[in-house]
Amino acid sequence: MDTSHITRILILCLGLYSNILSAEVKITGFASFVAGKAISGDEFLADYPKTGIYDKDWSLSPDTSVGIQLTSDISDTTSITVQLTNNGASDFETRSEWAYINYQHSSQLSIQLGRKRLPLYYYSDTFDLGYAYNWIRPPADNYTWQISHYNGISFIYEPQLSSIDILFNLYFGREDSHNNELLSLFSGVPVNETWKNIAGLVSELSGDWYEIRLAHMSSQLDREINNTQSDKDAKQSFDGISINLFYGNFTFLSEFNFYERSLADIEITTHMQSLAYTYKKFTPHITRSEFEQTINSSNGDEHHFTNSIGIRWDYKPNIAFKIQYDKTTDKGITIPVLGDAELFTLGVDIVY
Amino acid sequence: MNHINKYFNLLSQFKSCTASRLPVFLLFYFLSFPCSSGEEPVFLITGLKSEITHVSQYDLRKVYLGGTAADNPHINKPVLNKKDTELYRQFLKNIMHMTDNGYKRKVIKRIFRQGSDKIIEIHNLNELDQHLKDNPNDLSYITESDIKHMLNIRTLKKLW
């Protein structure tokens, strides 16, 4: 059953249920309207998963997105959640980011069945929710994966120790991506990608001034390039650690990730560090992110890093304006991305 | 074991970035605690017709983060009393053990990650009183001096 079927079924259930029983459908939403242009270089790849690319002309498409989340309680312990988004990078085609049934087994354990975002990185869950972070977008070099969702089951266990919040998220699933945007862009021909037997665990420990997150995922990969099978049952794994610190007005965010697919001799490290200072409603920030593939037997050498500086203005409790400058250096020779480039973007993020 | 080694490698990268700065950060953190003496008593309240008889500190914190109470099925929704900004900050500090930014960060993540409800915010006492009349199993908090202005509430316990 593909993604659109799952989403349609859940939307139908949600609609029928709310109509027949006059059940309340809770609506929350978000929007990011961002304009930008590459001020040097020909193109700037701002959003890897959706291939949001700026060129020398002003554009609203690469980072603009609008989302709506509908949740309805079926019973005291069961609810349906559907989140639909329109992204400019995907030609404003409506997509389901989340579509799942949630069963609250106890105050500490919940089980979700359906479609969710693949929680590899710290901001994977809220990638499109610009209001949740200081940047225009999460640092692109760190958020480079071609698969960002899965269909399956997840267990969220949240024990609590005094003021320390703990979360374990165990998940299993699969994702079939036909004509994958990122891989097709890089290959120049249609690429179909399947991640199957996905098994992952996310552990989070957080208090008011710190957050520590560990993530592990393993799966098998099938890939077809231009209808020719290039990979079959290739094992891959991802490990990541995020440490965020909040001291008074200072915020320090960091992520370090490692990806391995030994059959293809691919090892990739990505990392990001960001420092921000909040003064009243303004939060200036500086960030560095990097993607580096260990040079392998095929001379694979994708390597790029970005330095960013920007400012966020919390105009209202649910509205934030942002301006950001990014400078990317592309050091890949065998696998260049889009070359060196500088980008200027400004935008507004809203939650409602 | 490979995965454990990877975590240690990743952690060591992080340590090399921050180890020298950590004592300074910790010093700033502990100095940042404000003095809490001289605060007016604050009470946890519910509707006059509420079925709630008690709320543990654990459940209180849990529901204000958008979660479900562990041992009290009657609790409906939490309400933030934002009549007074200082009272709101004290509630976050004394009960949630959080700053305003930390609280917002956690709640918004939970709304969009786990489909939790938004936390209701009310900015004046009359509205809060009416809300608890209409939704008797909701929870909120008010200062001792404000209790006399409320007709449709019952106090559950003194918070601080």
User: pLDDT tens digits, residue range A204-254?
Assistant: 999 878 999 999 999 999 999 998 998 899 999 999 999 999 988 899 999
Q: What is the mean pLDDT of residues A187-215?
A: 93
Domain containing A253 — which CATH number?
Answer: 2.40.160.10
Q: What pLDDT does residue B33 have?
A: 44
A351 inside domain:
no
A87 inside domain:
no
pTM (whole model) above 0.90: no
Q: What's the rounded Cα separation, in Å, for the pair A334 and A311?
A: 35
Instruction: State the sign of the Cα–Cα–Cα–Cα dihedral A115, A119, A120, A125.
Output: positive
Q: What pLDDT does residue A236 have?
A: 96
A285 inside domain:
yes
Indicate the pLDDT class of residue A22, thresholds 50, 70 and 90: low
The residue with tokens 């609790």 is B75
List, as ranges, residues 130-189 from A with C-beta within 8 Å of B.
131-132, 156, 158, 160, 162-163, 165
Q: Which of A102, A162, A247 sits opposite B115 (nearest CB)?
A: A102
Q: What is the mean pLDDT of residues B22-45?
A: 59
Q: What pLDDT does residue B31 have?
A: 44
A65 inside domain:
no
Q: Determine the structural domain holding residue A307 and report its residue range.
A: 37-58+102-346
Quick one: CA torsion of A213, A219, A225, A231, rounded to 10 degrees?
A: 130
Q: What pLDDT does residue A17 have?
A: 58
Q: What pLDDT does residue A139 have?
A: 95
Indicate the pLDDT class of residue B120, thresholds 50, 70 and 90: very high
Instruction: State the sign of the Cα–Cα–Cα–Cα dihedral A12, A15, A20, A26.
Output: positive
Q: What pLDDT does residue A182 have?
A: 87
* Residue B58, min C-alpha distance to chain A (Å): 7
Q: Which of A65-74, A104-113, A154-163 has the lowest mean pLDDT?
A: A154-163
Q: What is the mean pLDDT of residues A175-193?
A: 90
Instruction: State the sign of the Cα–Cα–Cα–Cα dihedral A82, A87, A92, A95.
Output: negative
Q: Which residue(s) pair with A199 in the sheet?
A: A172, A218
pLDDT at B160 over 80: yes
Question: Residues A74-124: pLDDT tens digits?
Answer: 888 899 999 999 998 888 888 888 999 999 998 899 999 999 999 999 999
A22 inside domain:
no
Q: Which of B28, B67, B101 sits opposite A107 (nearest CB)?
A: B67
Question: Residues B78-116: pLDDT tens digits?
Answer: 999 999 999 999 999 999 888 888 888 889 888 888 888
> Average pLDDT, whole number, for chain A?
90
Partner A contacted by B70 (CB < 8 A): yes
- Count of CB contacts below 8 A, A vs B? 108
**By three-state DSSP, how is residue A179 classified?**
coil
Indicate the pLDDT class of residue A264, thresholds 50, 70 and 90: confident
* Domains in chain A, number: 1
A250 inside domain:
yes
Interstrand relation of B79-81 and A319-330 (parallel, antiparallel or unpaired): unpaired
Q: What pLDDT does residue B37 have?
A: 38
A25 inside domain:
no
Q: What pLDDT does residue B34 have?
A: 42
Partner B contacted by A101 (CB < 8 A): no
Residue B137's nearest CA partner among B151, B153, B148, B122 is B153
A337 inside domain:
yes
Residue A193's nearest CA partner among A153, A152, A239, A150 is A150
